[in-house]
Amino acid sequence: MRSHHCPNRSMFPLPFLGLALVLLISLVPPTSSCTEQEKSSLLQLLAGFSQDGGLAASWRKDTDCCTWEGITCSPNRTVSDVLLASRGIEGSISQFLGNLTGLLRLNLSCNSLSGGLPLELVSSSSIIVLDVSFNRLTGGLSELPSSTPARPLQVVNVSSNLFTGRFPSTWEVMKSLVALNAKNNSFTGQLPTILCLSAPSFTVLELSFNEFSGNIPPGLGNCSMLKLLSAGYNNLSGTLPDDVFKVTSLEHLSLPNNWLEGALNGIIKLKNLVSLDLGGNELSGNIPESIGELKSLEEQGQLLKPAQSRKNRSSAQ
């Protein structure tokens, strides 16, 4: 069984914690009062909770929602932050959050929320940080209408839920995306490398502990800013494509416990590697002697460790 215990640390690697922290804690003190529409949207969210973690005591209709627990407003009287992590909340996420037109950061992580992730949040024209990790959300991530303009999302964390299905192909409109963490779900199909082509500042792709399969598709070579690629404990097969070795910005490459094969001759091109884990695959040949030229490499993991059986790998998850 996969663990869904919510940790005390970020699910993004420490080298990339700075960006997320800046985005999440650069909060503006509340001023004035929120609009009736925003108050109504927040009360709709509260109504969808079967356990509200005590929020009802603060979220009262006769008070200014800018003063409510977990809510921050910007100087122009719009709700900018809904930060309700680790509140013991149960229930569903209301689509009416999409009516908060000034919402920048939404953090509902480490609760027991169920149901789906509303399309209105993914397609929001304002949200830049969306964190719903460590819940019990189900279903797939919604495709966006073909007419959807570029969206401003920068950090998306949907890790440690019960999501299924293929990753949306229409997320190419996330042209500002910097970090995506979809670890520890049951996503299927090919790795979503299309984001490399559409988001020039894309830096973190964390997809481990899913059910992605097939060859690593082309497109990674377009990720000129990518620093972390993690897709271990999936069912990836075939050889490591040349595209991977073109991502010279990579600092962390982790693809353990798949069915990858072939040699590692191109690894020397990744001059900035700090950590490397390719164990539990079916890679052949010797570790290239030239790997010693990777001066930044601190951790090599189990590079050519024999692959586990499918039975053992399943139980390990």
Read off the tokens for 307. Answer: 């692959």
Q: 98, 119, 87: which is closest to 42 by C-alpha?
A: 98
The pLDDT tens digits for 99-149 are 999 999 999 999 999 999 999 999 999 999 999 999 999 999 989 888 889
pLDDT at residue 122, as a whole number: 93
The pLDDT tens digits for 240-287 are 888 899 999 999 999 999 999 988 888 888 999 999 999 999 988 667
Label residues 29-67 b or e (16+ Cβ within 10 Å = b). ebeeebbeebbebbbebbebbeebbebeeebeeeeebbe
Distance between CA atoms of residues 207 and 229, nearest Å? 8
**For all residues of the chain together, what is the average pLDDT?**
86
pLDDT at residue 32, as a whole number: 56
Count Cβ atoms below 10 Å from residue 260 Cβ, excluding itself: 21
pLDDT at residue 306, as a whole number: 53
Sorting pLDDT into bands at 50, 70 and 90, what band is 34?
A: confident
Query: 80: part of which helix (H) or strand (E)?
Result: strand 79-83
pLDDT at residue 12, as a whole number: 53
The CATH number of the structural domain formed by 14-139+149-316 is: 3.80.10.10
- Who's near 309: CB < 8 A, 6+ residues apart? none
Q: Is the four-CA dihedral 45, 161, 247, 191 of positive or negative sign?
A: negative
Does residue 78 surpass a pLDDT of 60?
yes
Distance between CA atoms of residues 47 and 202, nearest Å? 36
Sorting pLDDT into bands at 50, 70 and 90, what band is 305?
A: low
Does residue 303 surpass a pLDDT of 50?
yes
Read off the tokens for 82. Answer: 């809904």
